[in-house]
């Protein structure tokens, strides 16, 4: 397990993120590869739950507002948003 993955898990625990928020954080991480289609599909399925939808959109908004060295957060949040527009809840 990498250092960044351990750090991400600790932040998830400390900030008490929900399952939906954790999945969005994983999909929009700074890892050099894109989010998996299975993870994006899980997030799209979660958008049909009103509470999870709100949490997902809130986390995506946070990621879209990152800058500097976290440019991958922004890029991956846009990729995830495009996927959710096509396959998620209306």
CATH class of 3-87: mainly alpha
pTM of structure: 0.90
Task: Give the domain ranges of the chain.
Answer: 3-87
pLDDT at 1: 67
Burial (Cβ within 10 Å: 0-12, 13-18, ≥19) of residue 61: exposed
Q: What is the pLDDT of residues 26-76, one digit of tens each?
A: 999 999 999 999 999 999 999 999 999 999 999 999 999 998 899 999 999
User: Does residue 77 register a pLDDT over 90?
Assistant: yes
């Amino acid at each position: 397990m990498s250092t960044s993955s351990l750090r991400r898990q600790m932040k998830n625990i400390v900030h008490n993120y929900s399952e939906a928020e954790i999945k969005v954080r994983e999909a929009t991480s700074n890892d050099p590869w894109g989010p998996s289609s299975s993870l994006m599909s899980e997030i799209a399925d979660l958008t049909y739950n009103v509470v999870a939808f709100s949490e997902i959109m809130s986390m995506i908004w946070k990621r879209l507002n990152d800058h500097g060295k976290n440019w991958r957060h922004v890029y991956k949040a846009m990729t995830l948003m495009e996927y959710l527009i096509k396959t998620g809840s209306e």
